[in-house]
Amino acid sequence: MIRTVKRAFKYRFYPSLGQATELARTFGCVRLVYNMALQARTEAWTLRQERVSYNATSAMLTVWKKTEELAFLNEVSSVPLQQALRHLQVAYTNFFAKRAKYPTFKSKKRSRRSAEYTTSAFRWRDGRLTLAKMAEPLDIVWSRPLPEGASPSTVTVSQDAAGRWFVSLLCDDVIEQVPASSSVGIDAGLDSLLVLSTGEKIANPKHERRDRAALARAQRNLARKEQGSANRAKARREVARVHARITDRRRDHLHKLTTRLVRENQTIVIEDLTVRNMVKNHRLARAISDAAWRQFRALLEYKAEWHGRNLVVVDRWFPSSKLCSVCGAHAERMPLHVRSWTCRCGRIHDRDVNAARNILAEGLSVIACGGGVRPQRTGVRTGRSSVKQETQ
């Protein structure tokens, strides 16, 4: 079966001095327009109980450009400014649908520096990308090819805290959904990043721990610099580079891991872990954050959707570690330090492998019977996500 999906391909590029200046100006204008529109919408509701639509903020932008104080908005492409207003509208839509908190103002120092261009604001010709207000194409490092015959519908340019420039091209991609016959249950952990129901244990690379000493040195160096000095800005970029190195390695590992799991298995069963609550344990918060269970699930969800796989998410209260995967007996207590145990049926269990097998059995029961087949196995649901971007 063939399926066409929207897929973003992210590449690093190296702008010239003029391009960097133009993009920096665009980032600033995008942030300003977003904040002004947010303020206008907030004040309209607070003072007059009036809802302001996207069309109204677009009309405001036209008026702002005609004022002497904001005439500089005409110096950059109008498309990223309009896209900023659309992003604000999406933020409000998510807020009213109770999917997100109320939109906040973008900070010059902390917010992501990015600008989005649609087809009217860039030229794509012979594999070369030229943005509006620029004479020369971007110097992109093509680390992987775009799909054959693909033409970008949206281009997003961004700069991270480490000073690196990236361009993301949204294209149509064709994915061949090849059926697989196997199923797998997955138990997430810290000693082993993942334990599969097949008995395989995938080691935890502990990316943050590998660079912890370098990160501490960079942060100490930053703390010694004077506020507002050029040396402090250099030290801040060094800290950001260490964080970026950790993040890149973690993302690369999770992409390879989730791609392999999706290609090999038709049915994948995972636990519904509440990472937000788990990181409140200050002893384990750093290790849990480094394991990136939430990112692993997000990648797994959209790749399973792309490839036509069944992804089942088992309820967080399902006692996967306390059940015997052979006879179904329920152990009363199972402290974390117990890594293996013997059931009364005589079977010796590895704690994590047994949990993964129980998770798989529960997931298969959801597919076959709709879940809830035993009193202790309630509240099971399936999980889906609409995440569409894969980066390299």
Contact 238, 227 (CB under 8 A): no
Position 383 scores a pLDDT of: 38
User: Taking Cα atoms as reference points, which of 80, 219, 243, 81 lies closest to residue 164?
Assistant: 243
- Residue 24 CB contacts under 8 Å (≥ 6 apart), including other chains: 113, 159
Residues 83-141: pLDDT tens digits? 999 999 999 999 999 999 999 999 998 899 999 999 999 999 988 999 999 999 999 99
Cβ within 8 Å of residue 366, ≥6 positions away: 312, 314, 380, 382
pLDDT score at 142: 95
As given in the structure block, the two tokens for residue 101 are 């908190």
**Catalytic member of 208, 290, 301, 352:** 352
Instruction: Write down the catalytic residue from 271, 290, 301, 390.
Output: 271
Q: Which residues of the chain have pLDDT under 50?
A: 372-392
The pairing of strands 182-188 and 154-159 is unpaired
The yes-or-no answer on residue 126 being catalytic is: no
- Domain boundaries, given as residue ranges, for the chain: 2-176, 182-382
Q: What's the pLDDT tens digit per position in 132-176?
A: 999 999 999 999 999 888 899 999 999 999 999 999 999 999 998
Active site residue 271: yes
pTM over 0.75: yes
Active site residue: 187, 208, 290, 362, which one?
187
Establish whether 187 is a catalytic residue: yes
